[in-house]
């Protein structure tokens, strides 16, 4: 059985706002294609409308409460703690603790 020729996907995406110009961007909120003239450009991207921009900003802000990189900030204290445990174990093995604290 022969496969059907795949349809060419070269369809120019038309702007979802004016339906005339070729879309240059895609709204990050509703994924609607937008042309350069219709795009509502912000630091978050080119939106199809102000409403989408507002909705997206709300979404980004509600997502934000957690610190951006919790892993990195956690890693350092863990390494420090592990190092301290190793030092304490080494010190106990070497008998430094009893020497330092005067325990016979
Ligand atoms: Zn347009
Ligand atoms: Zn949109």
Residue 52 C-alpha to ligand 2 middle, in angstroms? 5
| Pair (26, 51) in one structural domain | yes
| Pair (74, 99) in one structural domain | yes
| Pair (75, 36) in one structural domain | no
pLDDT category of residue 94 using cuts at 50, 70 and 90: confident
Q: Would residue 4 count as lying in a domain?
A: no
Q: Would residue 1 count as lying in a domain?
A: no
Q: What is d(CA 8, CA 84) in angstroms, rounded to the nearest whole number?
A: 63
Arithmetic mean of pLDDT, 37-50: 94
Pairing state between β 33-34 and 25-26: antiparallel
**Model pTM score:** 0.49
For 74, the domain range is: 67-104
Report yes or no: 23 and 46 within 8 Å, Cβ to Cβ: no
Structurally, the chain folds into a number of domains equal to: 2
Residue 25 C-alpha to ligand 2 middle, in angstroms? 11
Q: Would residue 78 count as lying in a domain?
A: yes
pLDDT tens per residue, range 6-35: 554 446 789 999 999 999 999 999 999 999
Using the predicted structure, report yes or no on whether residue 84 has a pLDDT greater than 60. Answer: yes
| Pair (56, 71) in one structural domain | no
| Pair (40, 59) in one structural domain | yes
Q: Would residue 71 count as lying in a domain?
A: yes
């Amino acid at each position: 059985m022969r496969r059907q020729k795949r349809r060419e996907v070269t369809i120019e995406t038309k702007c979802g706002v004016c339906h005339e110009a070729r879309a240059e961007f895609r709204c990050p909120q509703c994924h609607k294609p937008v042309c350069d003239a219709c795009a509502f450009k912000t630091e978050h991207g080119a939106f199809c409308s102000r409403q989408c921009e507002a909705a997206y900003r709300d979404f980004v802000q509600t997502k934000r409460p957690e610190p951006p990189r919790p892993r990195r900030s956690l890693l350092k204290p863990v390494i420090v703690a592990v190092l301290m445990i190793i030092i304490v174990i080494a010190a106990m093995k070497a008998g430094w603790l009893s020497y330092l604290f005067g325990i016979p």
